[in-house]
Amino acid sequence: MIRIAAAGDIHASEATRERIESAFATVEGEADVVLLAGDLTTTGEPEQAEVLAHAVRAISTPIFAVLGNHDLHNARGDEIRAALEKGGITVLERDFAVAEIAGMQIGIAGTKGFVGGFPGSSLPDFGEPLLRQVYAETTAEVDALADGLRQIAQCDLRIVLLHYAPTADTLEGEPEGIHAFLGSDRLAIPIAEYRPDLVLHGHAHAGSFEGCVGTVPVYNVAVHVMGRDFWIFDLEGTHGHAEVEVEAPLPD
């Protein structure tokens, strides 16, 4: 069994330093791996990423993360990533990672995802070049996710880590008028094809905790939704037979 501590939208900054340091001190020893679903900083400043990097530097638990829209707000994504990696965080950008944890091989396909919408209100690949560039950006994210899932196909446990939502299920509570800016059902295409064991995302602060893509469980782990710093997921079994158990959240 692997215990995963997951969170998204932690929005690190000098103002949140104490809370973040306390949260990561608590998670040490409570989980085998930590997964962070983007928006790790408040406004995408490297100094904010350094707050998070400092909080995790003394932690031995492996940490994997994707970036979110806040992290890219100031077009300093490379600096954000460098600061996080100095703290020991593995940042996945249209990439994947495989780790041996608790005697099992865990594969993580990680990318930010992007906008596009869901049935009834979705962006088409037609019209002005600028709109088609948005569509193309989502295509690149979908293709990267599909490639990552292919690469981890033989792992005992397979996890997708996103920032944007791949299903409208976990957007319930958000105004329907902004769903197109919170994710895209195109991200669900490789998820439905490869059927990973668990999908995690953030971004939708007023959304719902639990959803699915077919039979694949999807969880919105934005801290605003969870009401806690982390949520624990227990995964057990081997490839093709994994079971996900949702544990109680870690205390504040």
| Residue 140 belongs to some domain of the structure | yes
* Residue 231 backbone zone (phi > 0: left; psi -120 to 50: alpha; other: beta): beta
| Residue 252 belongs to some domain of the structure | no
The secondary structure of 139-158 as a DSSP string is HHHHHHHHHHHHHTTTSSEE
| Residue 175 belongs to some domain of the structure | yes
* pLDDT score recorded for residue 252: 55
pTM beyond 0.85: the answer is yes
Q: Could you give the number of structural domains in the chain?
A: 1
* pLDDT score recorded for residue 34: 97
pLDDT in tens, 125-160: 999 999 999 999 999 999 999 999 999 999 999 999
Residue 250 has pLDDT above 90, yes or no: no
Q: If we measure between CA atoms, which residue out of 78, 73, 67 comes closest to residue 36?
A: 67
| Residue 135 belongs to some domain of the structure | yes
pLDDT in tens, 53-74: 999 998 999 999 999 999 999 9
Q: If we measure between CA atoms, which residue out of 201, 90, 104 comes closest to residue 145?
A: 201
CA 43, 44, 48, 52 dihedral sign is positive
CATH number at residue 6: 3.60.21.10
CA 205, 119, 201, 141 dihedral sign is negative
| Residue 102 belongs to some domain of the structure | yes
Give the percent of the chain with pLDDT over 90. 90
| Residue 168 belongs to some domain of the structure | yes
* pLDDT score recorded for residue 207: 98
d(CA 22, CA 76): 27
- 28: β partners: none
φ and ψ at residue 95, rounded to 5 degrees: -145, 180
| Residue 251 belongs to some domain of the structure | no
Q: How far apart are the first and last CA of the chain?
A: 24
- 90: β partners: 64
Position 127, amino acid: G
Domain limits for position 155: 2-246
Residue pointed to by tokens 């495989």: 98
| Residue 145 belongs to some domain of the structure | yes
